[in-house]
Amino acid sequence: MHHRAAKRLAEGRDRFHPSAHDHGKLLVRFLEAAQGGDLDALTSMLSQDVVAWNDGGGKVRAALRPVSGLAGVVAFISGLVRRYSFERARLVEANGGPAVWITVDGREQLVTVDIRDGLIHAIYCVLNPDKLAHFHRLP
């Protein structure tokens, strides 16, 4: 944690948090673009240095390493959309902000994003059933 904070300070980046409303709107637009295969819209929402993290916890299939860079993340997402069917999605709150609870091919996952300057800089997908079970227990 200290390392990330020191890096942010060295880069001169403020940790700006959009309003929950704006965050949720961007998250919904992101999901719609991904599901619809609208690569232009998807690309316009992601930063050049975007990173996608996947946490399967060794229990479900997920990318083992983070996917980095705009081209890599767009290719990764478009590959997922071609391969898997999205059954349903709903906006929820996780970690104090908007998130999307998605069912893909019968498996649930939670997707959150970090937004800076109106662009998505990080995508976090939790597929680990143990962590998702904890989420179900929250009020």
Residues 100, 82: Cα–Cα separation, whole Å? 19
Count other Cβ atoms within 10 Å, centred on residue 31. Answer: 18
pLDDT of residue 139: 46
Give alpha helix (H) positions in the chain. Answer: 2-11, 20-36, 39-45, 70-83, 129-137
Tokens for 104, please give them.
Answer: 């893909």
Residues 98, 123: Cα–Cα separation, whole Å? 12
Count other Cβ atoms within 10 Å, centred on residue 115. Answer: 21
Q: Using one digit for the tens of pLDDT, what is the confidence trace for 25-53? A: 898 899 899 888 899 999 999 999 999 99
What's the burial of 48, exposed, middle or buried (CB within 10 Å: 0-12/13-18/19+)? Answer: exposed
Spell out the domains of the chain, with CATH numbers in brackets.
17-137 (3.10.450.50)
More confident call, 3 vs 68: 68
Residue type, 42: L
Q: Which of 119, 103, 128 is nearest to 53 (CA)?
A: 128
Among 51-55, 73-77, 120-124, 132-136, the range scoring the smallest mean pLDDT is 132-136
Q: Using one digit for the tens of pLDDT, what is the confidence trace for 54-102? A: 998 888 888 889 999 999 999 999 998 899 888 888 889 888 889 999 9
pLDDT of residue 1: 52
21 pLDDT higher than 90 = no
11 pLDDT higher than 90 = no
